[in-house]
Chains A and B, each alone.
Chain A
Amino acid sequence: MLSFVSAQIAALGPFFHDVLGGALITIAASAVAFAIGIVFGSILLVARLLGGRVLAWLVVGYVSVIRGTPALIQMLVAYYVLPAVLNLPLSPLEAGILALAMNTGAYVSEILRGAFNSLSGGQLPAARALGMRATQAWRYIVFPQLFYRSIPPLTNEFTMLLKASSLMSIIAVHDLATVARDATLQTNLPLQVFSATAVVYFAILFVASSASRELERRVAKVLPNVH
């Protein structure tokens, strides 16, 4: 049994470097997309809450369309349609990150909106009454609480994003899923290759969710009274 397993691993040995590179692209692209998505989602939330009726409806429509269409289709749109519409050439990786960021931004804005609705009322007027400007009130009173309360759902969103990042392989980004597909074509060992890939994804996602539980604990230590 053990020799069988080691023989299988040996067969995949030549791809070790490709796997590392693919995993790195998967992680880096997801991290960048998540960072953009957090900022974008915050902007969407503020636009929806403060931007007036037209802007609010635009945001509602955008969120509905993103949540109602497959990430795979969004990936194809980002790669094949957006460059023509924006008149801006995009590499596969750029298009992939853009698609993931636009997708996650919509979900992040909904997560933050949920947290906003759970805030005890009157904090914004109170902050204004204490002489804060609106931007200060949002920066120092509202957003810290929103993000603190949203750590668990945001983490969950990040794991969904990491999983969705595998769809970048459809537009020829050289991520982990692409490496796996290429390795399968070369070795004709699909069971071994895709099982190993599943293990690598599992490890990445496991580390990501463990890290976020740790983050949650530390934030709770620093800000014990936010609830």
Chain B
Amino acid sequence: MSIDLSIVEQSIGPLLKGLKVTAQVCVLGIPLGIAIGTLAAYLYGSAARLARSAALGYVEIVRNVPFLILVYLSFFGLPKLGIMMPAFGIGVAATAFYTGGYFCEILRGAFGSLPRGQLQAARSLGLSEWHVQRYVVLPQIFGYLAPATTSLTIMMFKDSSIFSVMSLAELTYQSNLLTADTFAYVEVLGTTALIYWVCSVLLDLAGQWSERYATRYRRA
């Protein structure tokens, strides 16, 4: 079995174009999802039962329904509801929806890792709710959040490959076009996998750096 390097060379251009779309979806969708997840975690912590069950239901749906099914449902289902959205928008929305559910779980775990007494102590010292969150809670849970959020980001980055089923011109879709064109599965899939892998490793390194930064007070 031989590898045709000229095919690899020709593939890199279109694949990197696809990577750009993948990156755009992630850069928009993941932070949006983090915002949604934070909101869901607050709803979960609220006293209102309806808000609690809504947040719980949301998290359970994300945890128990495959991303692929969610993407199919949005892509084929939304037009039936009269909602017309380009594949790119659906990709961003689906990424945000899924990220949000997992991030809500991560936040709940992080809050759970804080000793209860600290919140009470901070409040009885007269700190405002914002100051409690900003100066007592956040610095401490950041070290917990950093690694979990890194793996969530990598997971969503990889899951964005599923958007190829709705012909969004991201990395995997470009790869599919190239294999359909050349039948050079080894070269094209190998290059595609290499691009995904390098990006995942870089994201992982960035995550490790942010974790070290977030926990620098422990070494002081």
A binds B: yes
Residues of A within 8 A of B (CB): 64-65, 67-73, 76-77, 80-81, 84-85, 159, 162-167, 169-170, 177, 180-181, 184, 190-191, 194-195, 197-198, 201-202, 205-206
Residues of B within 8 A of A (CB): 1, 60-61, 63-70, 72-73, 76-77, 80-81, 154, 158-162, 164-165, 172, 175, 179, 185-186, 189-190, 192-193, 196-201, 204
CB-based contact A72/B172 at 8 Å: yes
Q: In the complex, what's the smallest C-beta–C-beta distance from A38 to chain B, in angstroms?
A: 21
> Chain B: which residue is nearest A165 at the CB level?
B66
Residues of A within 8 A of B72 (CB): 177, 180-181, 184, 190, 194
Residues of B within 8 A of A194 (CB): 69, 72-73, 76-77
Bound complex: CA of A65 vs CA of B204, how far in Å?
A: 12
Closest 4 CB pairs of A and B: A190-B76, A68-B200, A194-B73, A70-B161
CB-based contact A166/B158 at 8 Å: no
CB-based contact A159/B189 at 8 Å: no
Q: In the complex, what's the smallest C-beta–C-beta distance from A31 to chain B, in angstroms?
A: 16
**Does more than half of chain B's interface fall in helix, strand or loop, or is it mixed?**
helix
CB-based contact B158/A71 at 8 Å: yes
CB-based contact B80/A205 at 8 Å: no
CB-based contact A68/B201 at 8 Å: yes
> Chain B: which residue is nearest A185 at the CB level?
B76
CB-based contact A65/B179 at 8 Å: no
CB-based contact B80/A190 at 8 Å: yes
A-B contact pairs, 6 of them (CB 8 A): A68-B198, A72-B161, A77-B185, A167-B162, A191-B76, A195-B77
Q: In the complex where A67-B200, A69-B193, A73-B193 touch, is A166 in contact with B76 (Cβ < 8 A)?
A: no
Bound complex: CA of A177 vs CA of B67, how far in Å?
A: 11
CB-based contact B158/A191 at 8 Å: no
Q: In the complex where A73-B172, A84-B1, A190-B80 touch, is A159 in contact with B68 (Cβ < 8 A)?
A: no
Q: In the complex, what's the smallest C-beta–C-beta distance from B87 to chain A, in angstroms?
A: 15
Q: In the complex where A69-B193, A170-B165 touch, is A201 in contact with B158 (Cβ < 8 A)?
A: no
Residues of B within 8 A of A67 (CB): 154, 200
* Interface contact tally, CB-CB below 8 A: 116
Residues of B within 8 A of A80 (CB): 179, 185, 189
CB-based contact B197/A69 at 8 Å: yes
Q: In the complex, what's the smallest C-beta–C-beta distance from B43 to chain A, in angstroms?
A: 21
CB-based contact A72/B162 at 8 Å: yes
CB-based contact A81/B185 at 8 Å: yes
Residues of A within 8 A of B199 (CB): 68
Bound complex: CA of A168 vs CA of B144, how far in Å?
A: 34
Q: In the complex where A73-B196, A81-B186 touch, is A198 in contact with B1 (Cβ < 8 A)?
A: no
CB-based contact A169/B68 at 8 Å: yes
Which of B66, B154, B198, B204 is close to A201, meaning CB atoms less than 8 Å apart? B66
Bound complex: CA of A80 vs CA of B204, how far in Å?
A: 29
Bound complex: CA of A134 vs CA of B166, how far in Å?
A: 52
Bound complex: CA of A32 vs CA of B179, how far in Å?
A: 30
Bound complex: CA of A169 vs CA of B63, how far in Å?
A: 20
